[in-house]
Structure 1
Amino acid sequence: MDMSRILIAKTGKTASEWLPLAVHLEDTAGIMQCMIRDMIPPSFPESCALSPEAFEKTAVFLAYVHDIGKAMLVFQYKISRNLPEMRSRLEHFQLQFPESYEKDKINVIPHAQAGEEILVTLGCPESVAAVAGAHHGMPSEHIQKNLMQPRRNIKFYENYYGYAEGNVSLLTETWNHILQRALQIARIDSVQELPVLTKPAQMLLSGLLIMADWIASNTDYFPLIPTDEDIPENPERIADAWETIQFPEMWKSARLDYSDAAFRKNFSFAPRLVQTEFLNVIKNIESPGICILEAPMGCGKTEAALAGTEILAAKCRKNGMFFGLPTQATANGIFPRMMQWGEKQSQNFYHSIQLKHGSSALNTCFQKIQRGIPEQETDSGLIVHSWFCDNKKACLADFVVATVDQMLMMALKRKHVMLLHVGLSEKVVVIDEVHAYDAYMNEYLEMALQWLGYYKTPVILLSATLPASRRMSLVRAYLGIRESEKAFENEMGYPLLTWTDGTEIRQKRLTYQGAHTHVQMHPCTEDAVLAVVQNVVEHGGCVGVIVNTVKRAQTFAEEIRNQTHAKVLLYHAQFIFPDRTLKEQALLKTVGKDSSAEVRRGTVVVGTQVLEQSLDIDFDLLITDICPMDLLLQRIGRLHRHAFREQRPEVVKTPVCYVIMDELHGENTASKKIYGDFLLHRTEENLPESIVLPDDISPLVQAVYTFSEDDAMYQTYHNQQEIQKRRARCFRIGKPTGKDIHRLLSRDIEDKNECEVEAAVRDGISSIEVLLMRRMKDGSICFLPNQHGGRKTEAFPDEAECREIAEQKLRLPTVFSQKWSIDRTIHELEKQCLPYVENWQNSHWLKGQLVLFLDEEMNGELMGFQLHYSFENGLEYWKAAE
């Protein structure tokens, strides 16, 4: 008799429902077959280093045997505790439960690990069994290999058989029956036919198996069976479930070339020569790998990457695109352009899209997209499918815009990381602003690239200012090699395309046809800033002031407001979400590419590093704190960015950049803490009297990042970099080479929340997000004065109001989230807010959110700091003693 139809796989919340093990295994294998047919791109077997036939057989086999570990005595004992009828049935079929179980003294082996041990015992290749052992997102740390030779000293032996002789024969017979049924469904003659899987193949198949198991375990798709009914025969069970889910059609690009007409149709402008040459290279690569496009700010790298993605997806038979950016703001900025591109990818089908970062649920553009496949056809071919609306599944959608953390987490020892490997391996991966990542983050970036290289996933990296040494270390990481020709590292051409074709590295200087901007550079002190600003403002120009910290930005903005007649717009990261959106809109209206001379007149924009990334804004004159040369050039890229020459006042007809040096020459300044002494001094040493953009970009960046190892300051810098790298390796996964995935991940970070996981790939810099509200003297909770009229919230807010409250999100300054302060900050916030927000915990928008309450005058206190918030300045803080 088939014991797998008696053994229990799942139970319901009550004692009246269950699912036989055989049924769940059939469900999972059937879903795997549906996934292979409808969701898995043709490139997937190649990523697994398998033929299509071997891949399909192995995947279906694994789907059927994945829960074979539930066919052990201790699992059946524990799961049948609340099902007395099922317990009696198990005992009726001669399963004998030992008394030691009743005393709860047994150490229970996880059923996934048990399944791996059983499969090895039955003759499966260890690499195949390891995938079954990892189907809950964490590979086993060790396995036993002698279960068929029962001895009392086998670790956890009583888990399997409970020492009863009858159990041994009954359970081993069941295991063999499950194995034979799996071979039959997968159309495999014997276990000897199963392949030995590479480590990357194990990762990808584990990810697929997790997906299939999650779908098959969802009782909305696969309902449980009443315990008082016979197991029904339902040949349509799998087909009905698959139809209910309604996954969108997989994206398939057919574009192997990009004509000028097609480019103009998709992007509304004719391709520039840089874009044309880039796409010509892409279409002629025989075996695509990694492409690094270095080109000036504002020359269309984004559109080049989107067009290149279509060609690479067709060549490599990939089914999606991942676009990673350094911050939430830059991801939000790119998302509408990604949508416009995505909507043109199919005339006949819907494709899934995701925006993935901590505040994506509050992005209006993202929220307006149709949820699920509509009953009637709509103009947009993009949908947000509910199955992908999950932190660990978002990157499985066709088109994904995200902060780069999502890609870096591919190299994190995190539970269920295999899902990221599945999602990213079968896309074209694009990373923008690739120069913006420090030594710590680069450890994760390079390891992620190495895995993508093994999967033969096409990657496009974009930067305006990339040191040559970084360029080649990224290429070497992708290829999995230690050395490359020095000529590639010494190449000073710009714009420049570096790419791989198979194992070959190639480079091409691209043709730049844009303007050549001559920028005068003036080192200065803080004392000179006001006079420079006053002069430009009086003559009708607009000024950008970019400094390295929020506090400095707030200070400069206040001084300029008080001592000049300028219209001051302050922009940094310490604003609540709606205010930051309004600030961005004001920025683009005032100093964007479509701004008028009148609206620009007398405007001073003061901000932090957020102004240097991806915002299409234009200043008549720039004042900036000293920062590393590559970032300095990014900031200068916001100077005379557009053709406003006729509109600019005479005093700013020539672009000028003032560089404030105070933070370099002071002791323990914030800028030194952020960037380090060495790069700031190297930038000062190589700062010329004038810069020609884009001609001087590469020579200046390479000069600053070409080091002499005899320099004592370099040694300090090098040691700091090595310390960062060593810290990163603590939670970074190993290389894709090796035998199997055992011990590849870490249980230490499996339960961390998203903020903590993000901190793990950003040098431990965690962050605390709060909702900013007012608590009045009568105890009522109100919005800030400029939010929804400052109205009082309801005691039990409805869905709409809960979302409005959720939008009041602000990320606290890092002083509150240091290692010494973060726990105390959270504890104090919880203590302050818990009595007032108990009714909010029923809302998915507000559950678990921390709230920072201000008073009627917008003042507050936290961790010994006084706080004040305003639309003009954002969140300000100072020590109470100050």
Structure 2
Amino acid sequence: MSFLAKSNGVTLEKHIADVLASVRVLEQKNRECHPRELWRDLKLAAFLHDVGKVDPVFQQKLKSSVEEASRGASTISHNLISVFLINREKLLSYAQNPEAVLGAVAFHHWRDYYPDLFLGARGEEVSRMARSMLEEREMWEDLVNRLHHELQTLAHEYDIDPEVISFNKTWADYFQYNSIGNAGLLLPPYLLSFLPQKLKLRDIKDDQERIFLAGNLMRCDHFASLIETEDLDLSPEDIEHNLFPSTSELHRSLEEDFREKAAARNEPEPSFWQRDFFASAPDLREGSLVFIAPTGVGKTEFAYLWGAGRKNIYLLPMRAAVNAMWQRTRRAFGRAREDLTGHIAFLHGEAAMELRSAGRNPDLEGESLTRSLALARHLAEPYIIATGDQVAPAVLKYPGYERLYTVLMDSCLVVDEVQAYDPRAAAVVTKLLEDVHNLQGRVLLMTATLPPFIQEEISQRLRLSSDRILNFLETSFGKAFAGQVRHRLQFKVYRKKPAQTKLGYPDVVSFQVLMEEMVALARDGKKVLAVFNTVKAAQEAYDLASSLLDGVEGSPPLLLIHSRYTRTDRRENEKAIEDYMPNGRAPRLEKGCLVLATQVVEASLDIDADILYTELCPVDSLIQRLGRVWRRAARQASGMEEPSYANVYVLVETEDLCSGCGRVYDRHLVALTGFILARQAMGDLELMGEQSHIENLLADYRDIVFKKDRRRAYNPDEKENSALCKLLAKAPQFCLNELEKVRLVALTYGALTWSWKRGEKDVGSYLKEYYETLDILDSGYCSDRKYDAQRLFRQVYTVEVVPRKRIEEFGRKLKAFIERQDRPCYFDFNEQVLGNFTVPVDFRSLPSHAVTQPLAEVIDISFINARFARKIERWLQGIMVVPAHYDSQRGLVLEVGENGEE
């Protein structure tokens, strides 16, 4: 009887054949990227990886589906048993890198208990297994002979000597008395305890070979299992879809797209500068680049042409942006080559649910979306758009990270809008770019604003020459845009509470007056966008605007968007906002509107407002917000007059500068941004300042924020901002052209960097997390689990909650769902129930006095049969019930007593 590999009846011979066939496909499609000897080693690793499954205990487990057979054998997993069944001499003679082959076989699966096996706490289990194998040597040799017979044809097909599989008495003898960790035979790649040996032995070439073998073995093993266990009509050929349009096909597609969009907007067709750029500098399509360009000039098309002809992995900071880019890329590449439409994939935490919703789109009719998601998760598609948390945490070297790195070493990685990440996540992205570049992959960092300290770090780590740090506005193609003025700014200093008074403030208004201005502009037909730094501030503005519009005939639409909505409501709100403020996709309606939002609009919504009100915020975030105003003008490179009236109002609150100051944003970064903008407004700023200018600028800044006593340290919780507010209140209206925006970012972060390097940790404290995280990553830090690595990258403090007042409604919806279902499916449950009730909330925003309860303990599921009840309990895990109000317009409103905000 044949050996089994899977509990579904797949034989070991069949599984190894599928893995080898997948290796062959990868070799055929990527042969030129790696030496022939590496492919030979990979085939050997694939041939050997599961030989430990001949273990009678494992075979019995597959046949009987019980946790452990009666023999009472060790818990040692089959991949480690495989090590005992490899002929050392044959391995040394056949493999170019035998250590890497052995490591790939041993660690193509990783178990949580491995540290104990390697470090001695459970070393006796290895010794017991070795003794057992020696005592039953004849049985093991008989098993090996049977396996030789089963794999003989396969070995011949791939030119492998089947005798490389044999009972290794030498290693069994050794492991009777020694732990795996002491042997030096296997070096676990994910244990910090072995870091000294790793650093001692580390060589870039060896590291590349180890990652290539380990990662591709995992990839082929996982894909073979997908073929064997899922009814998706897949074959080994599907492990890598090398479908790419030719450059001429891509040019034609993008030209048609430009033409159609221009016609829809009733605008002149924009220049195809991206094509001309690469025609003038074709060598820049090879190798890594940093590309800095304003919003709206065509960075995405630049990325398409840079990555043409190779696998592309495109990272964006937000799910909504990923969803929009997926649709955009499907159109662009589907127009270039019709057979490519179904091979544009996307990945993020809600990808399955988004695909399920997208499946109702007639444009996707006939596509197997389940198959598409499976191929995306196995990195098989030629174009994959993903959120950063799906890829970047691999730099923390969690178990199995090699699978992703193996793909990246043969791909083009595009990272868009790095400034959207917090300093710690930005450090992780910086390290990712370095790792991929060192593995011979190509990277493109693309952004509207790039803080100089990040640019400097990336430039040094990737060893990029100056011609590979491209500022579009300084190129011959971008000079026409550099002097373009789309925004005239004016500060508005206001008092939050009507009773609050401040002496010496010219033109200080109340918050009520500001809202009356916004409402009046919207009534006058303007599309007004107001962006606040916290959910609470946005909701308060919405309440006030609602009262101003209540009962007024012909009131303009009032919309609110932030992070605290159910998935269903947020999707509907986003669509409504894009309909009222289209960025050229549809005719621009004359009717005005007022949209109140948080930072979610900075990168996730493709909108174009007439007027922006924004709270003071860091300079790069401010410029991202400016990119949502008069966006249509960015498509006009010349012949455009600057605005004659202010179309951007920067709101500064007298008591605390802005909501979230010191919590959402670093207080010094916010204050320094306001100070530098005020100097720019007064014409008293040298944007290309030398170090001496930066020193003088910081001295003046300190006079403002440390006005009581310059010798004392600045208290980040202090709310005495009168001097800065007076400066901002006096500042006149001022215009910013596109080049000045880039230089303002450089100057602001340049001042912070200078303070940090001088040891002035108060003003430069923003950079602390960035550099400290890089130091940790450079030291060889490993995360124990992928989940933990993702949490660190995302700084996850989010919990899914259901308002207590909606529990009865939730219970009714759950009961109705169960009554309709014969076999409850999580996707249906998520879409029909959870998606209408759960809201993501930063748990630090919850009131300190709030009494929270697990939803699974509150909901009555006694009416559900036991089997389904266990499923429902599992699906409700981690969801909390909180004291809060919810409605589809305002979202989740927490009860009074918040101790922090998003």
Q: 2-side partners of 1:391 and 1:549: how far apart?
A: 38
Q: 2:352 touches 2:373 (CA, 8 Å); kept in 1?
A: no
Residue 531 of structure 1 corresponds to 513
From the superposition, tell whether residues 724 and 514 of structure 1 become closer, same or farther in structure 2 (CA, over 3 Å).
closer
Q: 1:343 touches 1:382 (CA, 8 Å); kept in 2?
A: no
Pick which of 208-217 and 123-132 moved more: 208-217
Match of 2:795 among 746, 760, 763: 763
Match of 2:102 among 116, 126, 129: 129
1:588 aligns with 2:586: no
Q: Which amino acid aligns with 1:534?
A: E
Residue 680 of structure 1 corresponds to 670
1:392-791 matches, cutoff 5 A:
393-477=377-461, 479=462, 481=463, 495=473, 511-512=480-481, 515-527=484-496, 528=509, 529-535=511-517, 537-538=519-520, 540=524, 541-563=526-548, 567=556, 568-593=558-583, 599-601=590-592, 603-642=593-632, 654-662=645-653, 665=656, 670-687=660-677, 688-689=680-681, 690-707=734-751, 708-709=754-755, 714-716=760-762, 718=764, 721-723=767-769, 726=772, 746=783, 748-749=784-785, 752=787, 758-768=790-800, 774-776=806-808, 781-782=812-813
Residue 373 of structure 1 corresponds to none
Q: Which amino acid aligns with 1:398?
A: P
Q: Which amino acid aligns with 1:12?
A: S
Pick which of 685-694 and 835-844 moved more: 835-844
1:244-323 matches, cutoff 5 A:
247=238, 250-253=241-244, 255-256=246-247, 261=252, 263-268=254-259, 270=269, 272=271, 274-280=273-279, 283-285=282-284, 288-310=286-308, 313=309, 318=310, 320-323=311-314
Cα deviation, residue 334, structure 1: 2.0
Q: 1:569 touches 1:605 (CA, 8 Å); kept in 2?
A: yes
Q: 2:490 touches 2:649 (CA, 8 Å); kept in 1?
A: yes
Q: 2-side partners of 1:153 and 1:536: how far apart?
A: 71
From the superposition, tell whether residues 381 and 466 of structure 1 become closer, same or farther in structure 2 (CA, over 3 Å).
farther
From the superposition, tell whether residues 158 and 191 of structure 1 become closer, same or farther in structure 2 (CA, over 3 Å).
closer
Q: Which amino acid aligns with 2:291?
A: L
Q: Compare the two structures and name the one with the higher helix fraction.
A: 2
Residue 133 of structure 2 corresponds to 161
1:294-330 Cα offsets, whole Å, 9 max, x none, are 11111121222223332xx2xxxx2x32222111122
Match of 2:76 among 98, 109, 115: 109
Q: Which amino acid aligns with 2:742?
A: S
1:829 aligns with 2:855: yes
TM-score w.r.t. structure 2 length? 0.71
Cα deviation, residue 775, structure 1: 4.4
Percent identity for Structure 1 against Structure 2: 19
Cα deviation, residue 61, structure 1: 1.7
Match of 1:814 among 827, 835, 842: 842
Cα deviation, residue 552, structure 1: 0.6
Q: Give the SS at the match of 2:385.
A: strand
1:12 aligns with 2:16: no
Cα deviation, residue 852, structure 1: 11
Q: 1-side partners of 2:846 and 2:87: how far apart?
A: 47
Match of 2:217 among 209, 212, 215: 209
From the superposition, tell whether residues 389 and 189 of structure 1 become closer, same or farther in structure 2 (CA, over 3 Å).
same
1:158-190 Cα offsets, whole Å, 9 max, x none, are 266243564576578789999998864433689
Kindly report the root-mean-square deviation, in angstroms, between the aligned alpha carbons of the 2 structures: 4.9
Residue 374 of structure 1 corresponds to none
> How many residue pairs were aligned?
753
Q: 1-side partners of 2:745 and 2:863: how far apart?
A: 51
1:51-90 matches, cutoff 5 A:
51=35, 53-71=36-54, 75-80=55-60
Cα deviation, residue 672, structure 1: 1.5
Q: Give the SS at the match of 2:335.
A: coil
Q: 1:547 touches 1:625 (CA, 8 Å); kept in 2?
A: yes
Q: 2-side partners of 1:710 and 1:350: how far apart?
A: 48
Q: 2-side partners of 1:393 and 1:114: how far apart?
A: 29
Q: 2-side partners of 1:171 and 1:159: how far apart?
A: 17
Q: 1:664 touches 1:671 (CA, 8 Å); kept in 2?
A: no
TM-score w.r.t. structure 1 length? 0.72
Q: Give the SS at the match of 2:345.
A: strand
From the superposition, tell whether residues 170 and 745 of structure 1 become closer, same or farther in structure 2 (CA, over 3 Å).
farther
From the superposition, tell whether residues 634 and 795 of structure 1 become closer, same or farther in structure 2 (CA, over 3 Å).
same
Q: 2:51 touches 2:85 (CA, 8 Å); kept in 1?
A: yes
Residue 315 of structure 2 corresponds to 324
Q: 2-side partners of 1:720 and 1:617: how far apart?
A: 30
Q: 2-side partners of 1:344 and 1:130: how far apart?
A: 45
Q: 1:773 touches 1:852 (CA, 8 Å); kept in 2?
A: no
Cα deviation, residue 634, structure 1: 1.2
Q: 2-side partners of 1:613 and 1:178: how far apart?
A: 56
Pick which of 360-369 and 836-845 moved more: 836-845
From the superposition, tell whether residues 813 and 385 of structure 1 become closer, same or farther in structure 2 (CA, over 3 Å).
closer
1:346 aligns with 2:333: no
From the superposition, tell whether residues 205 and 618 of structure 1 become closer, same or farther in structure 2 (CA, over 3 Å).
same
Residue 198 of structure 1 corresponds to 206
Cα deviation, residue 686, structure 1: 0.6
Cα deviation, residue 613, structure 1: 1.5
Q: Which amino acid aligns with 2:130?
A: E
Pick which of 445-454 and 695-704 moved more: 445-454
Residue 97 of structure 1 corresponds to none
Cα deviation, residue 110, structure 1: 2.6
